[in-house]
Structure 1
Amino acid sequence: MISSSCFEKPTSPTYGEVFFSDESKLISLFEMSFPQKDTLALDTGWQYLGADSIPGMEQPIPEFTSEGEAVTLPHKLVLPNHSLWYSWKGNLDGGVLFLDGDDGAQLWVNGERVPRSADGEFYRIEHEEEVQLIVRVINNAVSGGLKKAFWMAESSYLKWMTDRKELLDSLLLNRKIELLTDSGLKVQLLELDQKDRVEKLADYPIMMTEPIIILGSNGEPFLRWQSEKGGESIIGRETGEKYSVSSKDGIFTFPIEFGEVYMIWIQQGKSLFGPFHFNQAEPADQIRLAIWGDSQGGWKTFNKISQEIASQNPDFSLGLGDLVNNGSQPFVYSRFLQVASQMNAPQILIPGNHDYDGFYEDLIAKEMERHLFLPGQKRFGFQILGSVGVLALDPNVNFPVSIPKGTEQQILMDSILTSETWSNLRWKVIAIHQPPYSQGWPGYHGELSIRETLEPYFHRGLIDFVIAGHTHDYERLTLNFSGNSVHFLIVGGAGGGLEPKDKSSDYPKMDRVIKEHHFGILDFGKDSFNLRVFNLEGEIIDQFIEEE
């Protein structure tokens, strides 16, 4: 923020909408079709070698006692928090290998580790002879395995990447022309060839997403939006102030204060956007919290969920992880930001295992961090929302998922949960992706490591709620620990595929299990709470009230 001067209120924005406002116009952008020439689908010839639960991302190839079991792809096993190992032998020329492993993959070629490409799940094959591929698939969910392997000649890969770049450029240009509000400029552009159109619109960058309020892990709110390109943007407020915000990569951040009502315009180059309205609630004794999780690429459903949440006028929104389906795919977080912006509420966003997909070399989810968090901040942190404390945890920073003793996260967690500040809060909430208890996912009972980490605090009356996702349904359970009630909620139905309705685990016995897409509204009062859970039609499917 560098200046305060009169901002001339624009009569209309340069573009009628942001780039991702209507995804029906952009379907081809998200299709993952591989080239046909000089390619080979490696669906057969694989051996499943076995599994281990050795912690950490760096480990040598294990010594296997047998050649393994012959499998075809896709291959999945119910084996949570394990590394699954595969081998393949055959002739491959030099080229590029695409690997799709749930949740992530690592590759060795003839015993040598091959790093993942910065472009995605692509690995360069230098050998031009018989090769042995060893693949480690990291399963941080319940079921996982190697889903797809695809080889491309170098020339085919480069052409495919060029074609995708040209597709993006074409979509970007056509979308910008379509959304222009200046009819005179639009007529001029239609009379030019494509190169001249691009040059003419270079000074008119388009916003990819609308601004959204996010609460950083330090509890401070900020506005976040994505533009077509980096540079300088000018924020103009209705009150006349003008602020300059810069970005190198098109991800813009503008810090704001609690309790202020904003009407802003955003100017970049010759483009004007807005007005955008924000009513940033001041945390108080009465808090309405929207809770949801596992939007996970179900964009049509998540769009509906976001609109329904907005109709409930929440003060804050809590997203419980698996915000996207594969965190390394292009534009997934751009799409997420645009859909979530419709909730019209400040967001507290919790990472899930799928948000780390594609980044299992070092468990640093670069795209998630770039789009959703502030530089240098941790993915776990503490928020105070009036009478409600929310401690956000991220066990996905470790493999297998856990919060080991002595780690920075565990030390921070303990210092907060045993602090006077936490003790004085009326409502104490743990927000985490993987639940300590779950019944609706066949073969899954919740995370033992999370139960063992949190249970001592349950007995001391230091936690009232544990709210999670991961299981794609709604679940509720209340347990008593040394006279202290703890409410466990799973709200994993914001878009991902639902768990099978006719199958569940034998234990634990949850109080409610409902397998519908849904979201929750938690109204916290000074001495009471009211939980309502809604389906896609806005109907209440569960309600739970506690009063004192």
Structure 2
Amino acid sequence: MRRLIFLSAVVMMACGGHENVTATYKPYHTLFAPDDDVRRQQLVAAFEKLDAPSLPATATFDSGWVYLQGEPKEGLQTDCKKVDGVGVNLPHRLTLPNTPMWYAKAIDLSAPGVLTIRADDGAQLYINGKLIPRLHNNDFPVDTVGHLAITIRVLNNAMAGGLRHVSFSTSEQYKLFNEQSALHIRRKRLMEKVRLLAEPVEGVSEKMETAILQNDDASWAAAEAILKPYPYFTGPWLQWNDAKRMTVSLELDGDLPVELRLQLKGDRWQGPMIQKGKKVSFVLENLLPDTAYSYTLTSGKTQSPLFTFRTPSADRPFSFNVWADSQSGIENFQQNVSNLSGYGDAFGVGVGDLVSNGATSEEWRMFFNVLGASSAERPYFLVPGNHDYDGYYDDLQPEQYKHYLPHTPQNYFSWRYGPCAFIALDPNERFPIDVPASSRQYQWFREQLESDMWKTATWHFVFLHQPPYSQGWAGYEGDETIRQLLEPFIESSAIDFVVAGHTHDYERLTKMYGRQQTTFLIVGGAGGSLEPAESSATPQMDTVLKVHHMGRFYIAGSSLRFEAIDISKKVVDSFQRTK
């Protein structure tokens, strides 16, 4: 009898025993919902009284600057320029998109340390005419003391930009701040884990209460030790390699191995794939077309939910979501992502400014925690925007973007799904933004337009962050460089849709290029703050709506429908096309 029970259990595991898995952690979006657990409420309230560390400033330099407008032809890197201009105080901002802005000031320092430079979008520092490589993000080392000639070159890829604030901290202050910040982030993540546990772990609430009350290293270490066997998964997120391969990636806060099990729907579970690391990726190969697969993830005592995705079909009607500018509006973004749960989208596209500061790892972690509610079950094609490059204006190599999306060889890419061909471009890899005819990206773009993938498709889409046309951002009419890039090919290559972000609203414009009808969409309302009520006089877009939203396309062969859906799930704009 015991042998029969044992064999039954083995059969259940092989044929579907994972179908009733109980996840260790609740979905991340529950952090944004009211919590009816009184003890957790008290823990959160007590934790929030612990101040996040701030970098102390020995000196600030917000007055007495000399300003000179630069020239776009200077490019990303140039020699230090003599700044003969006008006197300004900070913050100083001007409407000068895609333009370098020079600032100069003499300062006196008695000790080495760090200059923190806050600018839109990024900055380069020269001391006594010498270019200084950044330490991290907005921070630059100052090893020279005495009377110093400071020159700051601001690289503005947005609409309005300039120099906002400059401060100095000693090396000791900076080191202590970084240590305290790392500890605070670790403790914040631990607090999130406690709040997200589906079932309480014995002793963890008591240890957290002690840690918050004592606020010392030993108490926090004791609380962390209880949850060490329960690593938290950031994500997961799917990336589509090709029709037969998919990559599942996730980040975790422990050093325990991660196990992925895959099941062809209704079939037996395959043997586990195992990896170890802070961030892991599993490549699923030899996938069948138009087939549903399920998978689970396990590490230590942590069990993920059961996730399901479907591989592409050449003929099946499908839908996909598209959005941009999630940025730091994380609550709005999570609501938009939660709204997607009722749809069976084949994939999603994020058209740039995924985060507010591309060099801040905590912003990327929160982004993928929120997106994971959808990206665990469909691939996302994530296009970088100007803010995803913030902190990398030395060489425009967005390390965090590459860290989370290593299977994207370049920051521009193409793919085919059903009767649709898609091209994603990245003009932000240069300053000022551009895809010049001499660049590898331009040649690649031309190759895609001439490819069978593109020419045999019924519908043709181009995605990029900066729009060629925009009205909703006062003083901004879209980017001329993008118009010059795309318009020579719109009719000859039958570009049906150009989808962008950058302007934080929803906009639509349809134009005729000979016999080619092309619709320009801006879907910049995924999360970040919306544009003010005032708009530009030109161009006259067909629709401008300043609402948080996401877009969704529905494709059935030669028929297409689009809906813009606001954060309350109301359809605020729609249209249909047929070929």
TM-score exceeds 0.5: yes
Superposed CA offset, 1:2-52 (max 9, x none)? xxx96985986683247786269699699975244x622322222222222
Secondary structure of the 2:416 match is strand
In structure 2, the CA distance between the partners of 1:165 and 1:420, relative to structure 1 (3 Å rule), is: closer
Q: Which runs of structure 2 are paired with 1:198-209 in the superposition (5 Å)?
A: 198-199=224-225, 201-207=227-233, 209=234
For 2:307 and 2:80, the matched residues in 1 are separated by: 54
In structure 2, the CA distance between the partners of 1:218 and 1:382, relative to structure 1 (3 Å rule), is: farther
Superposed CA offset, 1:389-410 (max 9, x none)? 1111111111111111132211
Match of 2:7 in 1: none
Report which of the two has the higher share of helix.
Answer: 2
**Pairing partner for 1:228 from 247, 250, 253:** 253
Secondary structure of the 1:367 match is helix
Structure 2 spans left out of the alignment, 5+ residues: 1-12, 34-43, 211-217
Alpha-carbon RMSD: 2.9
Does 1:100 find its partner at 2:118? yes
* Aligned residues of 2:117 and 2:139 also touching (Cα < 8 A): yes
For 1:16 and 1:508, the matched residues in 2 are separated by: 48
Superposed CA offset, 1:41-77 (max 9, x none)? 322222222222125322101244x2x2222222211
Match of 1:48 in 2: 67
**Pairing partner for 2:24 from 15, 22, 25:** 15
- 488-497 or 222-231, which moves further after superposition? 222-231
For 2:483 and 2:108, the matched residues in 1 are separated by: 47
Secondary structure of the 2:467 match is coil
Q: Give, as a single letter, the amino acid of the residue that structure 2 aligns with 1:44.
A: S
Shift of 1:417: 0.3
**Pairing partner for 1:409 from 441, 455, 458:** 441
Superposed CA offset, 1:402-444 (max 9, x none)? 1111322111111110123311100010011111111211221
In structure 2, the CA distance between the partners of 1:203 and 1:46, relative to structure 1 (3 Å rule), is: same
**Pairing partner for 1:275 from 305, 313, 316:** 305
Does 1:70 find its partner at 2:101? no
Shift of 1:228: 0.9
* Aligned residues of 2:53 and 2:181 also touching (Cα < 8 A): no
- 146-155 or 212-221, which moves further after superposition? 212-221
In structure 2, the CA distance between the partners of 1:536 and 1:235, relative to structure 1 (3 Å rule), is: same
Match of 1:374 in 2: 407
Bigger radius of gyration: 2
Secondary structure of the 2:396 match is coil
Match of 1:59 in 2: 78
**Pairing partner for 2:394 from 337, 354, 361:** 361
For 1:140 and 1:495, the matched residues in 2 are separated by: 20
Superposed CA offset, 1:80-114 (max 9, x none)? 11111111212123211111111111101111111
Secondary structure of the 1:144 match is strand
* Aligned residues of 2:297 and 2:303 also touching (Cα < 8 A): yes
**Pairing partner for 1:287 from 311, 318, 321:** 318
Q: Give, as a single letter, the amino acid of the residue that structure 1 aligns with 2:385.
A: G
Secondary structure of the 2:357 match is coil
Does 1:162 find its partner at 2:179? yes
* Aligned residues of 1:219 and 1:382 also touching (Cα < 8 A): no
**Pairing partner for 1:211 from 232, 236, 242:** 236
Shift of 1:152: 0.8
For 2:230 and 2:569, the matched residues in 1 are separated by: 40
Q: Give, as a single letter, the amino acid of the residue that structure 2 aligns with 1:95.
A: G
* Aligned residues of 1:15 and 1:272 also touching (Cα < 8 A): yes
For 2:423 and 2:244, the matched residues in 1 are separated by: 10
Q: TM-score, normalised by structure 2?
A: 0.85
Shift of 1:164: 1.3
Match of 1:237 in 2: 262
For 1:187 and 1:482, the matched residues in 2 are separated by: 68
Does 1:139 find its partner at 2:139? no
For 2:19 and 2:575, the matched residues in 1 are separated by: 48
In structure 2, the CA distance between the partners of 1:471 and 1:198, relative to structure 1 (3 Å rule), is: closer
For 2:455 and 2:394, the matched residues in 1 are separated by: 39
For 1:23 and 1:530, the matched residues in 2 are separated by: 32
For 2:29 and 2:143, the matched residues in 1 are separated by: 39
For 2:225 and 2:453, the matched residues in 1 are separated by: 56
Match of 1:490 in 2: 522
For 1:251 and 1:74, the matched residues in 2 are separated by: 42
Secondary structure of the 1:214 match is strand
In structure 2, the CA distance between the partners of 1:169 and 1:416, relative to structure 1 (3 Å rule), is: closer
* Aligned residues of 1:473 and 1:492 also touching (Cα < 8 A): yes
Q: Give, as a single letter, the amino acid of the residue that structure 2 aligns with 1:422.
A: W
Say how many residue pairs are matched. Answer: 536
Secondary structure of the 1:54 match is helix
Q: Give, as a single letter, the amino acid of the residue that structure 2 aligns with 1:213.
A: L
Secondary structure of the 1:370 match is helix
In structure 2, the CA distance between the partners of 1:422 and 1:95, relative to structure 1 (3 Å rule), is: same
Match of 2:339 in 1: 308
Identity of aligned residues (%): 29
For 1:20 and 1:94, the matched residues in 2 are separated by: 44
* Aligned residues of 2:23 and 2:304 also touching (Cα < 8 A): no
Shift of 1:199: 4.6
Secondary structure of the 1:275 match is coil
Q: Which runs of structure 2 are paired with 1:112-511 in the superposition (5 Å)?
A: 112-117=130-135, 119-177=136-194, 179=196, 181=199, 183-184=201-202, 186=204, 193-199=219-225, 201-207=227-233, 209-216=234-241, 221-229=246-254, 232-237=257-262, 239-255=268-284, 257=287, 259-268=290-299, 270-285=300-315, 286-343=317-374, 344-374=377-407, 377-501=409-533, 503-511=534-542
For 1:400 and 1:519, the matched residues in 2 are separated by: 28
